[in-house]
Structure 1
Amino acid sequence: MELMKAIAMRKSTRSYKPEQISDESLDIILKAGCAAPVGMGAYNSMHMTVIQNSDLLEKFTNEARKTFKNPNMNPFYGAPTLVVVSGKQNEKAPAVEVANAACIVENMALAATDFGLGSVYLLGFLFAISANTELLKKLNLPDGFVPAAALAIGYPTEPLTKVKELKQTIEVNVIK
C-alpha cells in the first residue's frame, strides 16, 4: 500500500474481532514503531510492552472502569493486542516521552493499516493503571520509565475500505 493511501484509510477502530494478529504482522508493526523519530535519537529512553494476555487486559479494563466511574467502559474496544509505549522522563525536556510515544504510535498505526488491521491511539486508561502500582508493575517497565501512550491493534469487525479525502482540516498560516 502506498503511504498516502494508508494515511487516508487509517481510522480509530472501535470494534475488533477476537482473533489474534499474526506474529509476523506484530513484528513489522513494532519495527515501524522503532523507525519513528525520537528526540535526540535517544531510543534507549523509550520502551514498548506488548500485551496479548486477555486476563491482564481485563484487569486494565476493570481499573479504567473503576477510575472513570463507568461500568460499561471498554478502553480497548475488544482489540486482542495492546502496545504500551513508555518513556524515561527527562528533566531537561519535560514531556518529551509523550511526544516520542506519539510518533511511535502513529508509525505503528500506519503499519497496522497497511496490513488491513485496525488500531486506536489510547491514553486515558494509562492514567488509571499508572495510579495503581500493582497494575503498573505488570508492565515490567525498566526503572524510571512511565507509560506515555498506547495502541490497540486487531482485525476490525468492519474492513478498512474507506479512503477519506485528504484535505486541510487544521488552520495553517504560512510565513515567508
Structure 2
Amino acid sequence: METTNMINSRKAIREYKGQMRDWQLDSILKAGYAGPVGMGEYENYRFTVIQDEKVLSKMNGIYDAPTVIVISVKDPGQMEFISTGCVAQNMALEAENQRVGANLNMACLGSIPEGVIPEGFTPTFAITLGLTDYEFSPRAISLKRFKTNFVK
C-alpha cells in the first residue's frame, strides 16, 4: 500500500477475528525495530509479545486481542515515551499493510500481570493486534483537523 494511502486508511481496530500468522508478526516486529529511538539507545528498550491466553485474560482494555506487544524502557522520561509512540506507530502501519488490525493502547499497561515485563523495565506503550474483517481504505483528512500556526 502506498504510504499516504496507508496513513489515511489507519483505523483503531477493536474487534479481532483471530490470530495472525507468524510471518505477519515478524514483519510487524521488524517495523518496530526500524523505529526511531532517542539518542539511539536501543539497549534500553524491550518488546514483550503476549499471546498466552491466561496472561491476556488478566489484562484490561485489550478488546479480546489475540496478541499484545508491550514496549518497555529502562527509566523512561519524555524522550522515551515519545520514542515508544513512534515505534508503536511503525508497527501499527505495518500491521495495516499486512491487513492485520491494530490499536495503539496505553490503557492496558496497568493491568499487565507481574513477571511478564523484564525486570528493570517499565511498560510505556502497547499495541493490540489480530486478524480483522475491516477493509482499510483511504479517507479524506481535513486540513483543519488540527489548528495550525505558521511562522514564516
Q: Same fold (TM over 0.5)?
A: yes
Question: Is the radius of gyration larger for structure 1 or structure 2?
Answer: 1
Number of equivalent positions: 151
The reply to whether residue 102 of structure 1 matches residue 80 of structure 2 is: no
Give SS of 2:35's match: coil
Gaps of 5+ in 2: none
Residue aligning to 2:108: 125
Q: Is the 8 A contact 2:58 2:111 kept in 1?
A: no
Identity of aligned residues (%): 36
Residue aligning to 1:151: 127
Out of 131, 138, 142, the position equivalent to 1:163 is 138
Give SS of 1:36's match: coil
Residue aligning to 1:28: 27
Residue aligning to 1:83: 69
Distance 1:44 1:86 in 2: 11
- Residue 43 of structure 1 deviates from its aligned partner by 0.9
* C-alpha RMSD of the superposition: 1.4
TM-score normalised according to structure 2 size = 0.92
**Could you list the per-position Cα deviations for residues 46-81 of structure 1 after superposition, in whole angstroms to 9, with x for gaps in the alignment?**
1100011111100223xxxxxxxxxxxxx1112111
Report the residue type matching 2:114 in the other structure.
Answer: L
Distance 1:172 1:50 in 2: 37
Give SS of 1:40's match: helix
Alpha-carbon spacing, 1:37–1:151, altered in 2? closer, same or farther (3 Å)? same
Query: Larger helix proportion, structure 1 or 2?
Result: 1
Report the residue type matching 1:125 in the other structure.
Answer: C
Give SS of 1:154's match: strand
TM-score normalised according to structure 1 size = 0.80
Residue aligning to 1:7: 7
Gaps of 5+ in 1: 62-74, 130-134
